[in-house]
Structure 1
Amino acid sequence: MSQRKSTKPRMIDIAERVGVSKGAVASVLSNVGKNVIRVSEAKRAEILRVAREMNYVPNITARALAGKSGMKIGVLIDSHAPRCTYRILWSIEETAVKAGYRLMIGQAHDDPQSLFDCYDNFMRHGIDGVICLAHEYSGHEEEVRACFQDKKNLVFHDPTEWEAPCVKIDRETGMMQAMRHLQETGRQRIGLWLPRNSNCYSYRQRIAGYRKSNQGEEFLCHGLPLRCCIDEIRDKKLDAVIASNDSEAAQLARELMRRGIRVPEDVALIGHDNDDFSEFYYPSLSTIDQNDEAAGRKFFELLMEQLKGNTPQENYTFHTKLIIRESSSRKMNKEASE
């Protein structure tokens, strides 16, 4: 009985169709010999197109056994992370795919051991390197350090307790811009609402920016639910509030207006993260943008530098910026409104 011939496309099949050597195809699809074999951009594009048309799938297991890159990276993320963190993940994936890499995702929440197990699983699957978007676990700092401190090919989101390559988001700058904007539009009693009772790095940065810029009495609504925040606004006669994210700013705006408190005439609001809906909410929400897409590209770039054997700079900082919309527009005085 004749043996059925495999129809799985090989590199040599792609090479014959394009009219180049197998080495040229390997250089484009697997980064093998890329420093020796030069391939023009036109040929590179043609090789990638033909590979897609032929549904070529690289043999990852064979590459790993041969000690070559599996062209896979892992990303560790908190399953309850805010939308902005998932936008960073999206940008990492988009950048990785363009470079020929695939992603494995490991998720955990409030359980550092689950995070460590995800990392170990990555290693068993021949992952080349890891981007860690979740490493802050209050009370477990030493465990996190013990797991990750001596590991190679790792990039972290925000600084760690030890020296390690990271992409840092400077939220303090955006907070100071928001405070200055509110003060310039006549607001004097400005509150900062951080509903979760957390001491995370992100919250510490925002509180620092608020306190550096505040020129009057401090109104820090830390760990308060929405109802209590509304009571604080009413009882202390706040005329502006900066919320921890856009979703909570929208909830606050709705509840204020339901109680007859106008936004922005009576209370100005500023959110955080520049979520897609914030521009189309009514009133449109002023917000602080974290440059998530550029940050995602930088995460991948720093990891690639390590995989090439280079020593990347320890920290790369992205500065946040204020986006001004209707919810914090200039305060109306009584004469103008009348």
Structure 2
Amino acid sequence: MPHVRLQEVAQAAGVSVVTASKVLSPNSTGNNTKVSTATSERIREIARQLGYRPNLAARQLAGGSSRLIGLLLYSQSSPMEFARAAYVEEAAARRGFRVVICQCGASQESVRFCLDDFAAHGVDGAILLANAYPDLNEWIIGYARRLRHVVYYDRPLCDDGTCDYVEVDLTAGVRQLVDHLYAAGRRKIVYFLPYPEFPHGKYPSLIARERGFMEGMEAHGLPYDHDFAERFHFKSLPGNTELVRCAAEFIRVERPDAVITRNDNFAVVVLRALHESGLRCPEDVALAGYDNFEFTENLVPSLTTVDNRLTEVSECAVGMLVERIEKRGTAERRAEIFTPRLIVRESTGAGGRCQAD
């Protein structure tokens, strides 16, 4: 398909090239043309129909914005992390930006390659989802300063008070689960959290969830194993069959009346272990997961879980970055913290009721 030129879009829309450029390249320098909302919408629709794509190289040579946002992901991320990427792309597209995605490994060399790639593409700014490696975080913050603007998804461990970030209060999320189970009459609550050995230490997101469990148990005066956070540490995470066996043995020894799992995938493992052990959920053992994957509503029983409001958080991150790029808003550091929502379903005795607090 031949490249569609800006002149062709302008001709089809019945406007000048200057007017079309103002709409399709809003950050180009030296163009103060005023365009009505109706005309802008007509130009964008015609550009979409013709398949027009702006010449980013020419735009950058002219001193304009590339309208590109970099997004850094960890290559071993969970499916929820990739969902965040999709939400970021959607939010960016609504603002007229495209997203360049780079997946890094857990090494300085890999992160450097991705950040350099963003710089080579001339991105206007970047959102870093992969930044929480304990022994790399300070270096990442320093190296990322070569980019024009950066927003961190999760507060950087080595934040010096200047980093823009959005964060989900994971501690509050698990605390809500403990509070809910206590209110439902459960008194022997345990936490099932298998995790593999990490080359850079346990991630802050895991530690935050563990803290939520401890705070909830202590607040209600409930006993718990203070070494629980090290109980399911593996050199490498076992396959599903071994995890089910591990969960079944854990339930046999602990005799809980409620289980909280680190995420929804592990909740499915526990649900299978309960079934194979002849235990009913929620009658014998209540079960709660975390992340609110789509499949959780269709399990039998449907799964109580926590929703991290990723659509809203991603929207906020993109909005924050675009404000920096377009030089709107305050020059002060921006930080937004979101409280997750508890989703109550059948696995904790809700009888199919869904509650979002």
Q: Distance in 1 between matches of 2:49 and 2:137?
A: 49
Pick the structure with greater CA Rg.
1
What is the Cα deviation at residue 98 of structure 1?
Answer: 2.1
Query: 1:320 aligned to 2:340?
Result: yes
Aligned match of 2:9 in 5, 14, 36? 14
Q: Distance in 2 between matches of 1:133 and 1:34?
A: 35
Segment drifting more, 15-24 vs 179-188: 15-24
Q: In structure 1, give the amino acid aligned to 2:124.
A: D
Residue number in structure 2 paired with 1:122:
118
User: 1:174 aligns to what SS in structure 2?
Assistant: helix
Q: Distance in 1 between matches of 2:288 and 2:334?
A: 32
Residue number in structure 2 paired with 1:335:
none
- The count of residues paired between Structure 1 and Structure 2 equals 326
Residue number in structure 2 paired with 1:25:
20
Q: In structure 2, give the amino acid aligned to 1:309.
A: K
Mapping of residues 300-319 of structure 1, within 5 Å: 300-310=318-328, 311=331, 313-319=333-339
Aligned match of 2:222 in 209, 216, 227? 216
What is the Cα deviation at residue 221 of structure 1?
Answer: 5.1
Q: In structure 2, give the amino acid aligned to 1:216.
A: L
Q: Is the 8 A contact 2:115 2:144 kept in 1?
A: no
CA, structure 1 residues 150+57, in 2 after alignment: closer, same or farther (shift >3 Å)? closer
Segment drifting more, 148-157 vs 233-242: 148-157
Q: Distance in 2 between matches of 1:234 and 1:295?
A: 39
Q: Is the 8 A contact 1:106 1:115 kept in 2?
A: no
Q: Distance in 2 between matches of 1:134 and 1:8?
A: 35
Mapping of residues 1-338 of structure 1, within 5 Å: 8-31=3-26, 32=28, 36-148=32-144, 151-160=147-156, 161-162=158-159, 163=161, 164-196=163-195, 199-214=202-217, 215-219=221-225, 220=228, 222-224=230-232, 226=243, 227-310=245-328, 311=331, 313-329=333-349
CA, structure 1 residues 258+118, in 2 after alignment: closer, same or farther (shift >3 Å)? same
Q: In structure 1, give the amino acid aligned to 2:211.
A: A
Q: Which runs of 5+ in 2 are unaligned?
A: 233-237, 352-357
What is the Cα deviation at residue 313 of structure 1?
Answer: 4.1
Q: Distance in 2 between matches of 1:33 and 1:155?
A: 25
- 1:249-278 per-residue CA deviation (whole Å, 9 max, x = no partner) reads 011101211121211111111111100101
Q: Distance in 2 between matches of 1:42 and 1:34?
A: 23
Q: Distance in 2 between matches of 1:233 and 1:149?
A: 48
Q: Is the 8 A contact 1:70 1:128 kept in 2?
A: yes
CA, structure 1 residues 23+35, in 2 after alignment: closer, same or farther (shift >3 Å)? closer
Q: Distance in 1 between matches of 2:60 and 2:31?
A: 20
Q: Is the 8 A contact 1:191 1:221 kept in 2?
A: no
CA, structure 1 residues 187+50, in 2 after alignment: closer, same or farther (shift >3 Å)? same
User: 1:166 aligns to what SS in structure 2?
Assistant: strand
Segment drifting more, 117-126 vs 96-105: 96-105
- 1:274-326 per-residue CA deviation (whole Å, 9 max, x = no partner) reads 00101001111110000011111111111111112342643111111110111
What is the Cα deviation at residue 121 of structure 1?
Answer: 1.0
Segment drifting more, 288-297 vs 57-66: 57-66
Q: Distance in 2 between matches of 1:121 and 1:295?
A: 25
User: 1:322 aligns to what SS in structure 2?
Assistant: strand
Q: In structure 1, give the amino acid aligned to 2:214.
A: R
What is the Cα deviation at residue 113 of structure 1?
Answer: 1.8
What is the Cα deviation at residue 33 of structure 1?
Answer: 6.4
User: 1:191 aligns to what SS in structure 2?
Assistant: strand
Segment drifting more, 278-287 vs 204-213: 204-213
What is the Cα deviation at residue 119 of structure 1?
Answer: 0.8
CA, structure 1 residues 283+112, in 2 after alignment: closer, same or farther (shift >3 Å)? farther
Q: Distance in 1 between matches of 2:126 and 2:231?
A: 33
Q: In structure 1, give the amino acid aligned to 2:294.
A: D
- 1:2-35 per-residue CA deviation (whole Å, 9 max, x = no partner) reads xxxx964332332232222322211211113698
CA, structure 1 residues 13+183, in 2 after alignment: closer, same or farther (shift >3 Å)? same
CA, structure 1 residues 194+35, in 2 after alignment: closer, same or farther (shift >3 Å)? farther
Q: Distance in 2 between matches of 1:267 and 1:218?
A: 16
What is the Cα deviation at residue 109 of structure 1?
Answer: 2.7
Q: Is the 8 A contact 2:303 2:345 kept in 1?
A: yes
